[in-house]
Each structure stands twice: as C-alpha cells, then as structure tokens.
Amino acid sequence: MTIKERYQAVLDHFASANPNPESELNFSNPFETLVAVMLSAQCTDKRVNQVTPALFAAYPTPEVMAAASVEDILEYVKSVSYPNSKAAHLQAMAAILVDKFNSTVPSTMDELTLLPGVGRKTANVIMGVVFGKAAIAVDTHVFRVSNRLGLANGKTPLEVEKALTRHIPEHLRYKVHHWLLLHGRYVCKSQRPDCLNCPITHLCRHFSKNDKQ
C-alpha cells in the first residue's frame, strides 16, 4: 500500500464513520474555547468540563479574569493537572488579551503563541475550532495514532504535523485532528490499543507488523 493509498483509505473511513467530528470540550465563545483548551493539556476533557462551568461563570470575559488574582483562579481549577501553572497562565493570558488584543482572541499562530500557556498545539486547536483554519493540532493521541497507522513517521509533534499537512487536503485538516484524537482516545489507546475492535486494522502499519511476528 502506498502512502497516498493509505491516507485515502483512512480518510474515507473516518469521513464515513464520523462526518462531522467535534471537540468534546464544552464552550460557547472564543475566550471560553481558549480557556478550556489551555486547561485540557495533559488533562481529560471530562475533568475540564467539570471545572469550566463555575470558572466561566466567575470569569466570563478577559477583563474579569485579568483583574482576578492567581490564587482566586486556582480555587476553580485546582482539580485539573498542573493547577498552579495553569491558573497563572490563565491570568496572564487574559491580561495580554486585554492589553494587546482588545480583549479578542487572536487568529494567527504568531499571535496566539505570545499568550502564556499557549504552544503550537493549543494554537492550532484554536485556529481550527474557532476560526475554521486548515490547522492540524498534534497532541499525544494524534501523534501516537499517526505513527501507528503509518500516516507519519515523526519523532516530534512538529514532524508529524508537517507530514499530515503534506498529505491531507486543507478542507479536511480540522476534521482529521478530531478523527485521530478520538480514535486514539477510545480505540488506539496508549497502553492497550483495542485492535480487536478497531475497524481499520487492515490499514494499520503497527498492526500489520505485529500480526506478522
């Protein structure tokens, strides 16, 4: 199977199985999206969704969050992973939104990564989810699934992102992020991939390699 054929078969499967994938985080505007995605780093979406209703109610705008103390924000996020650093990042992020971006979430990689706590992965999520841009965010799930399936052979998230970008049409890149993430979250898990119930083992380089051993 050529790399082109592998990509086409994988994309065809996901497009048929889940034509309109969406984030499992809960949010209702760009600011809430940014906050939720920042909190989701190395944390489950389920946990973040338990935290954000009260957080969003307490800090509905960048201005309100920027005026809060890190200690006050920490009370709302203390059950997520790395709560101290995330509380500090949220407060500093909100302050920069107010001071430099007129309280508006920016839409470019360069601008987004100026915000504390926002790296390339988070910026790509925001560009795709909020602004509908052709961005592929490579988190641990996307990284793992891309390598296992044989879509990429990257040692870093950026290498995987570049490989996916080369082979995936722009109009599908936003969806591919969700497809691979959800497949990694529920099927192609890190420690125990559920190959017996995976519908695309016939396309998977990792399964094929192990099956021959």
Catalytic residues: 121, 139
- Report the run of H or E that residue 179 belongs to, with start and end: helix 170-186
HEC secondary structure over 143-209:
HHHHHHHCCCCCCCHHHHHHHHHHHCCHHHHHHHHHHHHHHHHHCCCCCCCCHHHCCCHHHCHHHHH
Give dist(CA 125, CA 139) in Å, integer.
10
Name the token pair of 131: 């602004």
Question: Buried (b) or exposed (e) across 57-82, using 16+ Cβ within 10 A?
Answer: eebeebeebbebeeeebbebbeebee
Give dist(CA 126, CA 100) in Å, integer.
18
Give dist(CA 206, CA 209) in Å, integer.
5
Contacts of 135 (CB under 8 A, 6+ apart): 123, 124, 125, 127, 128, 173, 174, 177
Name the token pair of 12: 């065809």
